[in-house]
């Protein structure tokens, strides 16, 4: 026998034990008989066993049938060498012929392995039933019908277990699963016995539920597939998160248009298609920044949303409109090779875009007006690279802005040359201040009645390495756009103030010196503080500084302008309006501005006295200035006829080549500030004594 058999007498003393005890537990049967069952079972197991036997003996008292009570009990103990073992003990009460209890007959069986398997089975069952992942077991012998599902499957699909047992798992799969995926499942199971991937379930309510599913083929000892285990995780929330992330990655959150990355990706894919011809439109709104700055970003956002909608309404069904950022948009027009007239097709879309953008934007109770500038680059004509095509379209857009805005420009190669020149110019200007390449020239302002100098204007020049002296018309617009005008403007004022002090220390009598202020400088809230700091640090008298501003600067924000000008006058600075007559000053505002002088723009002086319109405008400005108690200076005076006309109409202060070119500080000091230098009245100054480097119109 492999099992251990033992008997106990009525007093529960061991009376017999089989020799199989040695084989199973390692103890000699004789030793066990001498020492008792306590040798085989540890303390806890022995107490359980004896307690159970006493209880059985008590219950059996008075019973007449033998073997009328059997008890099975599992006891954990160990063999003689210390190995753990589980023994199933089966006990029966022994009776004699009279029914009296004689003892107990018991057998012990090693159930260690069986209990381990049972425990694993229970654990597997618990895992199966309580797993958060849906599990289907299908029986291959039963035509792959479902034999078992867990609670998570019911939760995932809405079907209860009773209704799905015996059905085919495929009937719970959504038709959205492609045939190629299902073919891949069968192929992988046949080859590897396993498949993993994304499958969509169709729930009882008709909804599609995405899942991440693994399918395993279980085989018997002969390698034959017995069943399939299908384990699926609900990934609905993950798919929603992925969709949100994708939307953030590929769509603009404000306009819901495709964003820059998606535009690039689409453009690159299209450019790889054989025979593809396309156009890329780069669109930039004209004067959007003032709306954003003055009315706030919420209004700006509303405008951008409306622009996005108008652009979508302007394009063809196959086109893609994207927002690049800010007020910049692009449109990809693919498949132009299928059009009879691709050029006309592009122009039609651009015309619709410009027309729709020009329509008023109703924001609250306001109506806002915008235009757009459009640059067009063609593939493959202009570029075979997506980045270069975008850059070319951007370059063409800037040319559209340079041509007055609200128009369309197609890219041509010459544009890139100009763009590179402009970029090089910007880069050099960023370094010019650090390299001390700027210089101030000075032009005298002349009193024709007294025949003497009455003022000086400081004019900025740039000694660009390799190019010589560069005029302001070439670089002033660039430093205005880039914002460099603010630090450069401070340098101009500081240099001019230091020059005044240098002239005074040399004994020269210095008249007022005019310095131009740009729109960027004037809008800087710290402008006056900066000017005062420079004046204090150089020690110059503020009465000698005249700040020149254009009409457009003054009229941009009248209330602030009045406050700033009044503060500047209190500090002692003189003020003048430069290029007067070219802007749109309101006389009601003009009389409020605390300015000292008006400077008549040289465009009105150039054709005097023969042009009747210019003569009348000049006469009117002089008369108005005199009536308002303002000084008046005429710019661009180059000959005697102009001077005589101006003197006749009451303008006795002039500035121009007839009296002085813009010259260096030393030349101006020698020719105009030196008391030993005599000026002949009403006679043009000998130009041979002046600098001939300056051959362009002064700023």
Q: Mean pLDDT throughout 499-506?
A: 92
Which among 21, 19, 17, 20 has a CA at the least distance from the CA of 6? 17
Question: 547-578: per-residue pLDDT in tens?
Answer: 998 877 777 677 788 888 888 888 899 988 88
Q: Give residue 499's pLDDT.
A: 93
Q: Mean pLDDT throughout 421-446?
A: 84
Structure tokens that stand for 180 in this block: 């190629």
Question: 138-187: per-residue pLDDT in tens?
Answer: 887 767 788 888 888 888 888 888 888 888 888 888 887 777 787 888 88
Q: Band of the pLDDT at 365, cuts 50, 70, 90?
A: confident
Angle (CA) 625 629 634, round 5°: 35
Q: E strand or H helix at 233, and its extent? A: strand 225-234
Which among 670, 640, 459 has a CA at the least distance from the CA of 548? 459
Q: Give residue 160's pLDDT.
A: 86
Torsion from C-alpha of 446, 452, 455, 459, nearest 10 degrees: 60
Distance CA 15, CA 21 (A): 14
Q: Give residue 696's pLDDT.
A: 30
424 pLDDT more than 50: yes
Asked whether 690 and 669 are in contact (CB, 8 A), the reply is: no
Q: Band of the pLDDT at 693, cuts 50, 70, 90?
A: very low
Q: Mean pLDDT throughout 288-310?
A: 87
Among left, alpha and beta (phi > 0; psi -120 to 50; other), residue 325 is left
Q: SS3 of 77, please?
A: strand
Distance CA 117, CA 650 (A): 119
Q: Give residue 511's pLDDT.
A: 92
Secondary structure letter of residue 67 according to DSSP: T
* C-beta atoms surrounding 482 within 10 Å: 13
Distance of CA 44 to the CA centre of its chain: 70
Q: Band of the pLDDT at 683, cuts 50, 70, 90?
A: very low
Asked whether 39 and 31 are in contact (CB, 8 A), the reply is: yes
Percent above pLDDT 70 for the chain = 92
Q: Band of the pLDDT at 682, cuts 50, 70, 90?
A: very low
Distance CA 267, CA 273 (A): 10
441 Cβ partners below 8 Å, 6+ apart? Answer: 458, 459, 460, 461, 662, 663, 664, 691, 694
Distance CA 427, CA 587 (A): 42
Distance CA 382, CA 410 (A): 10
The dihedral sign for the CA sequence 499, 504, 508, 514:
positive
Secondary structure letter of residue 582 according to DSSP: S
Which among 469, 478, 491 has a CA at the least distance from the CA of 429? 478
Rounded to the nearest 5°, which phi and psi values hold at 214?
Answer: -120, 135
Q: Band of the pLDDT at 255, cuts 50, 70, 90?
A: very high
Q: Which residue has the higher pLDDT, 97 or 587?
A: 97
Q: Which residues pair with 470 in a beta bridge?
A: 462
Extended beta strands in 384-471, E state: 408-410, 438-447, 452-464, 468-470
User: In terms of C-beta density within 10 A (0-12 exposed, 13-18 middle, 19 or more buried), how is residue 142 classed?
Assistant: exposed
Structure tokens that stand for 24 in this block: 């199973």
Average pLDDT over all residues of the chain: 85
Distance CA 694, CA 662 (A): 7
468 pLDDT more than 50: yes
DSSP string, 527-561: HHHHHHHHHHHHT--GGGEEEEEEHHHHHHSHHHH
Q: Mean pLDDT throughout 514-531?
A: 85
Secondary structure letter of residue 687 according to DSSP: G
Structure tokens that stand for 190 in this block: 């046949």
Q: Which residues pair with 635 in a beta bridge?
A: 655
Q: Give residue 247's pLDDT.
A: 76
Distance CA 414, CA 298 (A): 40
Question: 26-62: per-residue pLDDT in tens?
Answer: 999 999 999 999 999 988 889 998 988 888 787 777 6
689 pLDDT more than 60: no
Structure tokens that stand for 365 in this block: 């109770």
**Least trusted range by pLDDT, from 197-211, 454-468, 582-596, 623-637:** 582-596
Q: Give residue 685's pLDDT.
A: 40
DSSP string, 440-460: EEEEEEEETTTTEEEEEEEEE
Q: Mean pLDDT throughout 247-268?
A: 90
243 pLDDT more than 80: no
The dihedral sign for the CA sequence 22, 26, 28, 34:
negative
Q: Band of the pLDDT at 65, cuts 50, 70, 90?
A: low
Asked whether 367 and 360 are in contact (CB, 8 A), the reply is: yes
What's the longest Cα–Cα distance across the chain?
165
Q: Give residue 515's pLDDT.
A: 93
Q: Mean pLDDT throughout 604-625?
A: 90
Angle, helix 485-505 to helix 527-538, in steps of 10 degrees? 30
Q: Give residue 379's pLDDT.
A: 93
Q: SS3 of 21, please?
A: helix
């Amino acid at each position: 026998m492999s099992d251990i058999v033992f008997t106990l007498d009525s007093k529960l003393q061991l009376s017999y034990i089989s020799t199989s005890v040695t084989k199973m537990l390692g103890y000699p049967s004789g030793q066990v008989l001498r020492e008792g069952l306590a040798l085989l079972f540890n303390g806890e197991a022995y107490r359980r066993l004896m307690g159970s036997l006493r209880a059985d003996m008590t219950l059996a008292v008075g019973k007449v049938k033998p073997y009328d009570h059997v008890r099975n009990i599992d006891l954990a103990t160990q063999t003689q060498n210390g190995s753990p073992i589980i023994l199933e003990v089966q006990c029966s009460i022994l009776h004699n012929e009279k029914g009296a209890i004689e003892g107990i007959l018991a057998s012990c069986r090693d159930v260690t392995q069986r209990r381990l398997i049972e425990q694993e089975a229970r654990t597997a069952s618990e895992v199966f039933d309580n797993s958060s992942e849906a599990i289907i077991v299908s029986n291959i012998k039963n035509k792959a019908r479902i034999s078992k599902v867990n609670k998570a499957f019911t939760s995932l699909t809405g079907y209860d277990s009773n209704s799905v047992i015996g059905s085919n798992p495929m009937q719970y799969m959504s038709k959205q699963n492609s045939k190629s995926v299902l073919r891949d499942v069968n192929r992988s199971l046949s080859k590897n016995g396993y498949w993993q991937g994304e499958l969509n379930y169709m729930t009882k309510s008709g909804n599609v539920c995405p899942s991440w599913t693994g399918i395993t083929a279980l085989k018997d000892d002969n390698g034959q597939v017995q069943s399939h285990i299908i384990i699926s995780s609900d990934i609905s929330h993950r798919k929603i998160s992925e969709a949100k992330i994708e939307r953030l990655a590929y769509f603009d959150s404000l306009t819901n248009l495709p964003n820059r990355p998606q535009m690039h990706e689409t453009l690159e894919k299209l450019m790889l298609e054989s025979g593809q011809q396309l156009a890329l439109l780069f669109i930039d709104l004209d004067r959007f920044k003032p709306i954003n700055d003055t009315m706030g970003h919420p209004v700006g956002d509303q405008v951008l949303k409306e622009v996005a909608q108008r652009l979508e309404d302007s394009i063809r069904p196959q086109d893609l409109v994207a927002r690049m950022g800010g007020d910049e948009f692009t449109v990809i027009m693919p498949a132009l090779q299928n059009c009879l007239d691709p050029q006309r097709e592009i122009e039609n879309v651009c015309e619709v875009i410009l027309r729709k953008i020009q329509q008023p934007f109703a924001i609250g109770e306001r109506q806002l007006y915008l235009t757009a500038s459009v640059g067009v680059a063609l593939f493959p004509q202009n570029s075979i690279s997506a980045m270069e095509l975008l850059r070319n379209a951007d370059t063409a857009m800037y040319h559209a802005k340079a041509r007055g805005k609200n128009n369309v420009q197609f890219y041509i190669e010459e544009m890139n040359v100009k763009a590179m020149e402009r970029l090089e110019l910007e880069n050099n200007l960023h370094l010019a201040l650090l390299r001390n390449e700027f210089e101030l020239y000075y032009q005298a302002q002349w009193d024709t009645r007294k025949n003497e100098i009455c003022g000086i204007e400081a004019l900025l020049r740039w000694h660009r390495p390799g190019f010589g002296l560069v005029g302001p018309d070439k670089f002033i617009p660039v430093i205005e756009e880039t914002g460099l005008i603010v630090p450069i403007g401070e340098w101009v004022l500081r240099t001019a103030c230091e020059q005044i002090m240098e002239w005074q220390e040399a004994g020269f009598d210095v008249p007022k010196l005019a310095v131009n202020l740009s729109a960027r400088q004037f809008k800087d809230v710290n402008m006056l503080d900066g000017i005062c700091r420079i004046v204090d640090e150089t020690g110059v008298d503020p009465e000698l500084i005249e700040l020149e501003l254009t009409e457009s600067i003054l009229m941009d924000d009248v209330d602030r302008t009045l406050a700033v000008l009044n503060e500047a006058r209190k500090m002692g600075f003189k003020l003048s309006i430069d290029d007067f007559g070219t802007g749109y000053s309101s006389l009601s505002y003009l009389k409020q501005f605390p300015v000292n002088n008006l400077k008549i723009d040289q465009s009105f002086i150039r054709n005097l006295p023969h042009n009747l319109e210019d003569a009348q405008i000049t006469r009117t400005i002089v008369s108005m200035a005199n009536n308002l108690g303002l000084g008046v200076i005429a710019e661009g005076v180059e000959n005697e006829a102009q001077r005589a006309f101006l003197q006749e109409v009451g303008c006795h202060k002039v500035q121009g080549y007839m009296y002085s070119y813009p010259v260096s500080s030393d030349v101006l000091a020698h020719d105009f500030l030196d008391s030993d230098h005599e000026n002949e009245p009403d006679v043009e100054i000998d130009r041979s004594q002046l600098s001939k480097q300056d051959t362009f119109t002064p700023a």
